[in-house]
Structures are given as C-alpha cells and as structure tokens.
Amino acid sequence: MKNKIKNNSRENLISSDLVIKNYLLAFKLVSEFKTKTTSIEKIHRSIIFLYLANLIIARDCNFSSSLIKKYYISLKSIFKADIIKFNDQFFSSKIFNNQHPFSQMGYVIDISHQFYLSNIISDKNSSTKFSDSSGYRKMRGAFYTPYKIASLIVSKTLNELSHNKIKHPKILDMGCGTGVFLSAAAHQLRERNYSEDSILYEMLHGSDVEDLSNIIAKVILQTEMGLLIDNFSNLKSIKTEDIIFGNLNHNLFQAKNNSSLFNAVIMNPPYDRLKADGGTKSEKKLVEKKINFIKNLNIFKNSSSGSIDLYRLFIDKGISLLKPSGIIGAIVPMTFMADKSAAAIRKKLINTNAISEIIIFPEKAKIFEKVTQACSIFIANLKGGNETITITEMLNSSNVLRKIKVPLSVIASTSPNYSPIPLIKKTEIHLLDKLNKFPRIGEIHGITNRRGELDLTLDKKYLNGFDSRLLKGISIKFFSTNKIFKVDYKKFIKAKAGTSRVDDIYSERIAGQQISNIATHQRLKFALVPKDYILGNSLNYLKVDKKLFLKNSFSIYSLLGFLNSNILNWRFKLTSSNNHVNNYELDDLPIPINAPKNKIEALNKVVYKICKGNHIQNKKLIDNMNAIVQDCYKITKNNFSKT
Ligand SMILES: C[S@@+](CC[C@H](N)C(=O)[O-])C[C@H]1O[C@@H](n2cnc3c(N)ncnc32)[C@H](O)[C@@H]1O
C-alpha cells in the first residue's frame, strides 16, 4: 500500500502549548484507569500507544472503535509494553480520535514525549512523578530535531553518498530518539526508488538509550512506509542501547569487521557535558566510571581530553563505525566551529579535507523547541578530496544570510593549532589569506602572552591589602586604565618569588579583558600597564622584549597599536565563538613584526600620543593609527573597507 502523499507525519507544525494541553487532558483521562501500582511512566506509555494507534488511523482514514482496539492490541503485543488495560467503553470514547491529522501526528508525539521527559523525576518509592522541571531530559540531551532540519542533513548526506558512488548505503542514526532522521531518510530513499523492504530492513539503522523513543521511531517509520498493521515488526535495526558506554564493561555497539561498518552516520547527538560534579554520590561515581572508560579507548582520543562533551564523543564514535569513505551529516553546537575544546576533532576533519559543508544557525533561529542555542550542521566525507568548504550563515531557521565557498587551505592556515572555521564574507577571503602569511604572536620570539597572575578566587587572601596596585578585567578600557583595586603587594610578590610571574610584574605590560561580549563592536581592548602592578586573572597580558627594538624599533607601543587596530579586531571576530578572549586566540593573531622601521616608528609615535595625551576619543588619531597598521600589513584602505 504505497501512499506517497501520506508519508510524512511531521510535515505540519502545531503550537507546542496546544499539544501539551491535549497531552495533559489525555493524561487525566488515562489516569482514571490507574490502579495502585500504575506509575506515571505506565500512563505515559499508554498515551503514546494510543497516539500511535491514532497515527495509523489518521493515515488510513478508517476510524472505528473496534479498529483502534485492534491497533492498540497489535502494538501492545509487538512491543510487549507495560501499558494500562483499557475497557471497550474507553475505546469508543473517541477522545483520542482524529484530534490531529496524519501530517501533524508525528510532531505531536515528538512534543508529547519530550514534554514527558522534561517533566518527570524518578523516585524509587513512588516510581515516577511529574515535576516542573527535571534534569532527566537534559541529561539525555533529548531535544528532537525539526523535520525540515533533519531532512536537510539527510539530503546532503545522500548527495555525498551518490558522489562516492555508493549504491545501497547502510545508514546509522546515533541517538535516533523518535526517529525524525530515520523518517526523513526513508522518505528520500523512497523518492530515489528504493523499495520499502530495503529501506526498513537493510538500509536504515538506529540506536538510542531510551527505549520508548525507539518504539515510537519504529511505529512511525513503518506507518509512514505504508505497512499494514499486520506486517509491523519489531525492527531489529533500531536498538535500545548506550552507543557510547555500552554496559561499561563490554561495548555492545562495536563494529566487528568491515561489513558491519556503515556508509553514513546521521545525527543530532546529545550536547551535554560529561561531568562528575553535582548529582548524588552514586551518580558521580558512574560519571567517573564513564570518563575512565572512554579515556581508555583509542577511538575517543580526539574527544576525551579536557572537559568532555557528549557530542564530540558521538562524532568520534561515529567515525569509528564508518567505512573509510563514510559520510557524517550532523547538527552540533556552534562550539564545534571554533572552540579549542573541539580542536582535535575539527583538525582531523579539516586536515583530511573531509568537511564539505557547514550551515550555521544563530541563537535567535531557535531551531529546537524552547531552547536558545547556536548550532551548526556539518557534512563530512571521510574520503577527503574537498578543496573548499561551503559555509552558509542562516539569518533564521529558513532564510540564508550569506553562502560562500572558503578554500580549505585558508582555513587550515588561519590557525594550524586549533583550526577554527572563520565566519567570513567572500570579499574577506583574500584579506585573511594575506594576514595568514605574517608570523603569529605565539611564534614571535620576544613577545610573551599570558593570563593575569593573581587568581581572583584561589588568591583571595591577598585582596585585603592596602596597596592600590591591582588591575582586574573592568580596569581596562580601549587604550586606558580606570579602576584600580587594593592588594597586599608585598605578600603576593613574596609568595610568587622565584617564578617568571614576578619578573613580569616588574615589567611594563599590555593588558586586555579576558571577557568581552561577542556582540560588541570592538572586542579587542588593550591598555598599557606600568610596571609594579599586579594583574588579576580576568585579564590577559602581553610583554615585549626590548631586544625587538634593535631591528626596526618594534616596541610595546607597536604591539598595542596592532592589538587595538580595526584589522586585528576584525580578524579576532572571524574565529571567536564565545565571550572570551583566550590566550590561544591571541597567540594566533598575525603581527607584521618585520615591517619597515619608518612605519613602525610612525606607529609608535601615534600610539604614544593616544596613550599619553588621553586622546582616546580623538578619532583622527585612531584613524591615523589604523592607516599605519594597514600599511604595515600591506593592505590598502580599499581592501579593508570591503569587510
Ligand atoms: C538531541 S536528541 C536527538 C534525537 C533524534 N535523533 C532527533 O534528532 O530528534 C539526542 C538523543 O540521544 C540519545 N542518547 C543520549 N545518550 C545516548 C547514548 N549514550 N547512547 C545512545 N543514545 C543516547 C537521547 O536519548 C536522545 O534521544
């Protein structure tokens, strides 16, 4: 029974508030059948089963109370679910029938199940209870993908598979939830004339730790593929298991040989951190066990250092389950684009020329239900061979702001250390390429770049002194310092005696705020700090060795001019993905350290004037400084005005 028109149950969206209102009504009604031993989970499962029966009815446009009873019984026996026994009167009450059309029903089920996951708390004595909010959904990262986004990722993944000439792909959705990716893949494979049997029993595979979402995925998929209820099966290719940790002693989902590997992984993995703080003693122990487990596995070597994000573990695991020319199509947090935490995995994909496309959704696009998070889709073809990455910046969930192709060589040379992917305009590529040719701060012998020496938390004991010699983040403005704080100067120096930190205190330095809001125009703001001042760790600082002066008069004033220039502010913003200014980001900034002496001297002069004469507001002087800086980079005004 092929019904091409009715194959997408998530096609039409509906207000989630209305869905939740209906769900709570259903909850009340089903609760009337509650016995002493009925848990909230059992009530929820019963509602979901009724919703699924409704989905089939809505598809077949064939309602009768005896049919809904039949569907209910079939589904119950297929999935051996623990659900309430309803009586005939209940089945004829019509309360669940035809509430939503088929084209909405899948979406309704997704929202209802997420609502349940967000609002239950487990309680050993009374099984499960509703609460206003619980960490359960967050813990599992159960934020389901809108169909349109899943479908976009699937279509790009299938195109890459065609590009690799894969005729009969085996596709895995890791953390499949209620199966929106699997549905989108099924629809598109059907359009490409694959049979329902191949799609369901050979091509599509899924796994999720959460049992009920897998059941939902299986029923929706089979309903959408037009199967008759008698033909529904408990699809073995969709498994309930922990794809990352297995049972911690034996990893179930491990590819054993080449034939068990996949051609493509599609996914919206959970985004949470794996952290041992918070939670009960036993939860903490479990997290520690998980961390040890992954740290000992080679497949997680690019995702298990520092603080561990689940999404990075999913990418590493996905790569290990793919054939050598496999494809990954995923939606992940924006941090994947530029944060140091994701550097190892990003570098691996960039250095092997695997990433072909990136689509960026800003926070305001709000693509997930009731979540504000900037995300990016990436498509990677492990076969490599991509010379450019197509980067699309979205204005919102459906409109494109800009789309450009950036040469991978430019991306790789922007920061060989952590390979951030710059958010760049077409006219800026040439400029970035030009800047990339200059030595970076981290490579220049004679420039020190560090975080302030006084930890405002750990070194609190020094803050009750009487010396006005401490600068914190808020002390530093663009070219000037303002607020100075009290510190016990002598005691602090004594404590740090013998370390290079004390030498730094005795030097004149450039300091800049460690926190700088991503939305502000001028993100890099530095000022000169005289010697004998202590800097809090809310500041970064740079020091210039006097030896550099000998060659071309390069001094602390020259570096301050470059750091506060509009060119480096533009360059910094290209790869910054959060509100911090990190030392490793400063290390990557290019400096024309070998610029001609006359240009550096002109720069020193104008920067000196800005600092000493309190001319910060003097636009003419700042313009003059920017012009000299551009000249040192051999960039024309015309080049830069295109940014
Ligand atoms: C962001 S949701 C995405 C669900 C679905 N793929 C979608 O896009 O709507 C992440 C899913 O991963 C599942 N998950 C979390 N940790 C998992 C693990 N260790 N193994 C398997 N699945 C996991 C969660 O239960 C959740 O359904």
Is 433 a member of any domain? Answer: no
Please indicate, yes or no, whether residues 384 and 457 belong to a single structural domain of this protein.
no
Q: Which residue, judged by its Cα, is nearest atom 8 of ligand 1? A: 145
Interior angle at CA 24, CA 21 and CA 29, nearest 5: 130
- Number of structural domains (the chain) is 3
Ligand 1 atom nearest to CA at 177: 27
Q: Give the mean model confidence (pLDDT) for residues 607-620.
A: 79
Give the end of a domain, one of 57, 91, 124.
124
Residues 519 and 445 in one domain: yes
User: What's the per-residue H, E or C state across 233-276?
Assistant: CCCCCEEECCCCCCCCCCCCCCCCCHHHCEEEEEECCCCCEECC
Residue nearest to atom 2 of ligand 1 (CA): 142
Question: Shortest CA distance to 468 belongs to which of 491, 484, 490?
Answer: 484
Closest approach atom of ligand 1 to CA 110: 9
Say yes or no: 396 and 471 in one domain: no
* Cα 546 to middle of ligand 1, angstroms: 56
Contact indicator for 308, 270 with CB cutoff of 8 Å: no
**Residue 178 is assigned to a structural domain of this protein:** yes
Residue in 143, 204, 209 to alter for ligand 1 test, most ligand atoms within 8 A of Cβ: 209
Collapsing DSSP states into helix, strand and coil, what is residue 618?
coil
pLDDT, tens only, 66-99: 777 788 778 877 777 678 887 777 777 666 665 7
Within a domain: residue 255?
A: yes
In a domain, 603, yes or no: yes
**C-alpha pair distances (Å), 583 with each of 233, 524, 526:** 56, 12, 13
In a domain, 559, yes or no: yes
Ligand 1 mean position, distance from CA 511 (Å): 44
pLDDT the model gives residue 20: 82
Looking at every residue in the chain, the average pLDDT score rounds to 88
Q: pLDDT by residue (tens digit) across 114-167?
A: 888 877 655 444 444 454 444 555 555 568 899 999 999 999 999 999 999 999
Say if CB 140 and CB 270 are below 8 A apart. yes
Same domain? 258 vs 373: yes
Q: Tell me, in angstroms, the distance from the centre of ligand 1 to residue 334's CA.
A: 18
Task: Determine the pLDDT at residue 251.
Answer: 47
Which pair of structure tokens corresponds to residue 133?
Answer: 């909010």
Nearest CA to ligand 1 atom 27: 177
Q: Ligand 1 centre and the CA of 577: distance in Å?
A: 25
Atom of ligand 1 nearest to the CA of 213: 27
**Cα 356 to ligand 1 centre (Å):** 25
| CATH number, domain with residue 484 | 3.90.220.10
Residue with CA at minimum distance from ligand 1 atom 6: 176
- Asked if 402 and 486 sit in the same domain, the reply is no
Q: Which domain holds residue 381?
A: 147-270+311-427
Same structural domain for residues 172 and 194?
A: yes
Residue nearest to atom 11 of ligand 1 (CA): 175
291 domain-assigned:
no
- Counting every residue written for the chain, the total comes to 643
**pLDDT, tens only, 525-545:** 999 999 999 999 999 999 999
Q: What whole-number percentage of the chain has pLDDT above 70?
A: 90
Helical pair 102-119 and 40-60, crossing angle rounded to 10 deg: 170
Residue of 116, 117, 140 to test ligand 1 pocket, by largest number of atoms within 8 Å of CB: 140
What's the 54 CA to ligand 1 centre distance in angstroms?
25
**Cα 152 to averaged position of ligand 1 atoms, centre (Å):** 19
Tell me which residue has its CA closest to atom 15 in ligand 1. Answer: 140
Within-domain flag for 290:
no
> Per-residue pLDDT averaged across 367-382, rounded?
87
402 and 463 share one domain: no
418 shares its domain with 564: no
CA angle 235, 263, 252 (to 5 degrees): 55
- Residue 138 Cα to ligand 1 midpoint, Å, equals 11
Report residue 18's pLDDT band, with 50, 70 and 90 as the boundaries: confident
Residue nearest to ligand 1 atom 7, measured at CA: 144
Residues 488 and 628 in one domain: yes
Q: Let me know whether 258 and 226 are in one domain.
A: yes
Q: Identify whether residues 450 and 421 lie together within a single domain.
A: no
Q: How far is the CA of 176 from the centre of ligand 1 (A)?
A: 6
Last residue of a domain, one of 427, 449, 477: 427
Is there a domain that residue 168 lies in? yes
Q: Are residues 20 and 93 in the same domain?
A: yes
If one residue of 148, 208, 239, 268 were mutated to test the ligand 1 pocket, choosing by the most ligand atoms within 8 A of its CB, it would be 208
460-484: average pLDDT: 94
List pocket residues of ligand 1, CB cut-off 6 Å. 140-145, 150, 173, 175-177, 180-181, 207-210, 213, 242-245, 268-270
The CATH number for 363's domain is 3.40.50.150
Which residue in the block uniquely carries the two structure tokens 């709570």? 24
User: Using CA positions, which residue lies closest to atom 12 of ligand 1?
Assistant: 175
